[in-house]
Amino acid sequence: MLLDGETFDLVQHIDTVLAAVAGHELEPVINPELMQSVLEIATPVCHTTGEIADQLRRIRGYVIGVARDQGMRVGSAGTHPFSLFERQRITAKDRSRALVDQMQYVARRELIFGLHIHVAVDDAEKAIKVVNGLLPQLGPLLALSASSPFWRGEPTGLRSSRQMIFAAFPRSGPPPRFESYSDYAEVVGQLEKTGCIADYTHIWWDIRLHPRLGTIEIRICDAITRLEDVVAVVAATGRRNRIPIMQLIRRTLKEVEPHARELGSERELEGIEEILRGGNGADRQLRVFNANRDIVEVVSEIANATEVAAAAAPAAAK
């Protein structure tokens, strides 16, 4: 989120940021999104969670510095607590304009922000099995990442308001369980033949295959404020019964510990336990709000927490 440095409202200045980063080595990983108050950052391919942490710290730190030079702040959360979608401008990207033309109100209302995690899988049939295996973990991943308890200035009673807002999109939510890659390809092919979608990237399931990149893409997570929480949640994706979600998460942690050791992600995975003890992003926002009912202070806390870990990042090369 691009924030006014004083009011903490969203500002429509993505073009200003893109102009400032033009020619910089990090320019390719900083991109516009649907609305002009939003920017997307993407790490290069990383092989360890340590690499992910370093890259995120570097990219976040650079973007935060660019924004501050322009009188802005940067914040990461699943929704902006009080900004209104009616006041946002759509970016000039052809895909964004086409989406709004097709989806109308549903797309214009999509003032929400998510974390997408790509995991490389080297075989199509294996990818289907991985997606099916991860379906029971989507709820825990959302619970860990939830950071959108406010919408239009009001507490919604939900930890992830973003999930409910995005549910208005077609082809969203959890995917069906596919028996094989050919089963998946048949469904996608039928959607394309009937004109429902231009290609598979217009399927917005909580987890989906991304054949062009050779990955599965986990899309259920809210955008996460604290960098260390981002890395912890990513580490938890390396590898039921109706039970309390915290118990399920702790059980899953036990199951993935051997894989975390193999991948060198043990330290990062410890961050999950910290989230369970101290609460997720939504819990922190609600604590700030309940202290004095000041919604602007909530956004200030989001910006401060977004910036704190990135402050230690070395300056990116010019």
Measured in degrees and rounded to the nearest 5, phi and psi for residue 19 equal -65, -35
Residue 248 confidence (pLDDT) above 70: no
Distance CA(62)–CA(64), nearest Å, equals 5
Closest Cα partner for 232 from 266, 255, 259?
Answer: 266
What's the burial of 25, exposed, middle or buried (CB within 10 Å: 0-12/13-18/19+)? exposed
The residue ranges of every structural domain in the chain are 2-312
At residue 146, does pLDDT exceed 50? Answer: yes
The SS3 call for residue 42 is coil
Give 2-312's CATH code, choosing from 1.10.260.40, 3.40.50.10680, 2.40.30.20, 3.30.590.20.
3.30.590.20
Does the pLDDT value for residue 176 go beyond 50? yes
The DSSP H or E segment spanning 154 is: strand 154-155
CA 284, CA 305: separation in Å to the nearest integer? 10
Q: Hey, how many other C-beta atoms are within 10 angstroms of the C-beta on 168? A: 13
Beta bridge partners of residue 4, listed in sequence order: 72
Give 102-124 pLDDT, tens digit per residue. Answer: 999 999 999 999 999 999 999 99
What's the pTM value of the predicted model, to 2 decimals? 0.90
Give pLDDT, residue 261.
77
The amino acid at residue 236 is A
Confidence of residue 2 (pLDDT cuts 50, 70, 90): very high
At residue 311, the pLDDT reads 61
- pLDDT number for residue 249: 77
As a whole number, mean pLDDT of residues 65-87 equals: 98
- pLDDT of 187 > 70? The answer is yes
Counting residues of the chain whose pLDDT is more than 70, the rounded percentage is 93
Name the token pair of 77.
């959360």
Q: Per-residue b/e over 48-68, b at no fewer than 16 CB within 10 Å?
A: ebbebbbbbbbbbbbbbbbbe
